[in-house]
Structure 1
């Protein structure tokens, strides 16, 4: 085995034999489109070669050139309000016709409305906002603010985490596929142990014991390293849905306050209702110093991200923190306002919780009947199934997971593979019980067809 070949991978393998078989089975028109794509785009892990060429995205579905529909439980985690959401499209088109661009040094009502809408959804209403063109840029901006207001450059993040693909973000990220052979990274980035009550160094299934272990190590870093300016993490890990107990967040917040470090929550893939609350941390009765948002913030139409910073840290007026061309993005702000309005009017948080209950019941039934499902983790509409060869040893079954992916795609269900063996579903918040039931049926059929 080559060095690092056995490392846990973040997503599915795009260059294996199953991908080759999938591509070989496509029609000539689709193959032509994929070859044209490969001719003009650089190749990169987990993105190429592409699966298929699509022509339409609507609601919960993608459609290819043959009009085949794929129930999309992947969506890059940005389709909370569904594809081609009418509220978002209408708002963006109207904004483009009235005021398409707001030059730096100017403001407009739509920008103020969008910032207020995000602040209004917080618990304390005690935040200020900056917009950025991407989630990666927002994470970088959060790190800069932490340095500026604390005077300390060191940051603790977690192994296995993903916070973006720029050089600063892979420095705080914890996945090898993003920093492989890229040389020295940002100094002062220190890794802690991620919460995982299924796989951990203690071999424990006790959420409280695992949480204490992770935080004990974090405190050890604080005590021995010194000069820590921030702790950065996802409250719920998006790709494999590990959910720490509430006590974890209470103690973490107290620790950051004691060592005068900012607590930064990256909710880029998980906010806007996917957890059943508008912001994920609201499930745990804590509030971060800095909140990072992205993906679904643009309503699945406009690339849009933001950071929310506690008002008391508005101390950076002497430095250009996020001197972006689209510092107050007109179309993005219109999309934010429309997406939030749609979530409110169509009660998507309530639907998320309701469908989450259905998903838990359906998943529990599968868990009882199929030993290849080692663990099920569901919170709202963040759903992960961890596939194993043996429940006692917990050996990852990456082969089965990949087979199930391609079987499901053939049957019209798209989702993400995480850590090689975790089937991860992020349905839109508009998903119906019938659509979820269909996905569970495809999943069960895939298990029966692919086990050997």
Structure 2
């Protein structure tokens, strides 16, 4: 009999059809929860990662999710939208105030809140990132960037990374590399070249001892041979399984792009706004991109909001529409984003991410010393990945163990996701207290 669980693709997150999930649900969900999940499953198209769903959530507040049976979970996933926590009063008040004055702004017009947000983003961004376009979601921001590159450079080829993620729309999966989004889709957008694994700085074509120079040498080789590359798009720090290149990697990448006239696009949709201890993840590397993409947390966990920031000399598309989305300059979304940025500054969340991140690092490394199952701990700010392996020498993935630990943590009130089948991805709200973080680390340790 075929083991379907073992054949499921595990990349972006934990799988919604696994046996471990089924067993957890049978042990912990009420009859009411099962009835609602069945109703949800009846009406929504099924897709990997989400439908059928895990549970039914009734409330979200602070760092917590609460299900319909009253169980609370510290949320260390949050789809990367919860930098300022759930139900943040700065954000809620701003949106409520805006609702009374300007609930919707037709796209032919601008509004004062949208202008304030653009000004604030330009003030926060270092260097020459002085032009802004807003979008209703991250995939739309990726789409705008790809179009801007073609318009500005006259080139339509884009380099991206194997197994990367940049959104679920057809153009986004063309530059994204995760099979769970691409399989069976047929011809994708032409001109997209996936030439190397994201973690090529750690291991290139299976050579874990290779220097990060080897992957960049190959990247430059491709640029020289192709000759008509418009841009390269990548996450400066990969969020899903937490891959963190050294400074030298991004600094040389910037030099390579300059040498070959290639635009550098950083997709910071899941990692910007303080998650890494800096407002922008690329600030950890001392380099400047030509375009940076924001999203997810920009809406404060309340409103879908994304943005593209670009060099001012790339303002060359006045004769076409790069976006012009119905909710592009949303008065409500802009109010939420402004309040989010203000809260991050007023409550010094960058400093909190760094100080609490150090505690998190200490606890996780201590667990690695204690448990052979932990093959690697990677992190920056309040973003950590704990890679589980069956053998530290062979690096064989501990897939079943990772899932079992995740569901054991959920039993104790801690929620996170598993990426690549064996990486526990831990990304708490930046508003988490020291006591809450200590409790979360205790739960994780006991679950091993």
Q: The TM-score by the shorter chain falls in which range?
A: over 0.9
Contact 2:367 2:445 in 1 (8 A): yes
Q: Find the aligned partners of 1:220 and 1:160 in 2 and give their Cα distance.
A: 21
Deviation track 1:76-102 (CA, whole Å, cap 9, x = no partner) reads 011000000000000001011101112
Contact 1:61 1:72 in 2 (8 A): yes
- Tell me what 2:99 maps to: 96
Q: Residue 203 of structure 1: CA displacement?
A: 3.1
Q: Residue 196 of structure 1: CA displacement?
A: 4.9
* 1:204 maps onto 2:205 in alignment: no
- Tell me what 2:401 maps to: 400
- Tell me what 2:359 maps to: 358
Q: Find the aligned partners of 1:66 and 1:2 in 2 and give their Cα distance.
A: 32
- Tell me what 2:199 maps to: 195
- Tell me what 1:74 maps to: 77
Q: Residue 202 of structure 1: CA displacement?
A: 5.4
Contact 2:202 2:212 in 1 (8 A): no
- Tell me what 1:115 maps to: 118
CA distance 1:317–1:72, shift in 2 (3 Å): same
SS state of the match for residue 195, structure 1? helix
Contact 2:128 2:312 in 1 (8 A): no
Contact 2:113 2:331 in 1 (8 A): yes
Contact 1:297 1:304 in 2 (8 A): yes
Aligned length in residues: 444
SS state of the match for residue 52, structure 1? coil
Indicate the larger mover: 18-27 or 191-200.
191-200
Query: Any residues of structure 2 matched to 1:152-163 within 5 Å, and which?
Result: 152-163=155-166
- Tell me what 1:450 maps to: none
Contact 1:192 1:214 in 2 (8 A): no
Q: Residue 330 of structure 1: CA displacement?
A: 0.3
* 1:41 maps onto 2:40 in alignment: no
- Tell me what 2:15 maps to: 13
- Tell me what 1:146 maps to: 149
TM-score normalised to structure 2 length: 0.96
TM-score normalised to structure 1 length: 0.95
Q: Residue 9 of structure 1: CA displacement?
A: 2.8
* 1:240 maps onto 2:244 in alignment: no
Q: Find the aligned partners of 1:180 and 1:397 in 2 and give their Cα distance.
A: 24
Q: Residue 246 of structure 1: CA displacement?
A: 1.1
Q: Residue 413 of structure 1: CA displacement?
A: 0.7
Contact 1:130 1:308 in 2 (8 A): yes
Q: Find the aligned partners of 1:7 and 1:23 in 2 and give their Cα distance.
A: 21
Q: Residue 2 of structure 1: CA displacement?
A: 10
Q: Find the aligned partners of 1:9 and 1:223 in 2 and give their Cα distance.
A: 31
Q: Residue 16 of structure 1: CA displacement?
A: 1.6
- Tell me what 2:313 maps to: 312
Indicate the larger mover: 124-133 or 76-85.
124-133
Contact 2:235 2:266 in 1 (8 A): yes
Q: Find the aligned partners of 1:363 and 1:23 in 2 and give their Cα distance.
A: 28
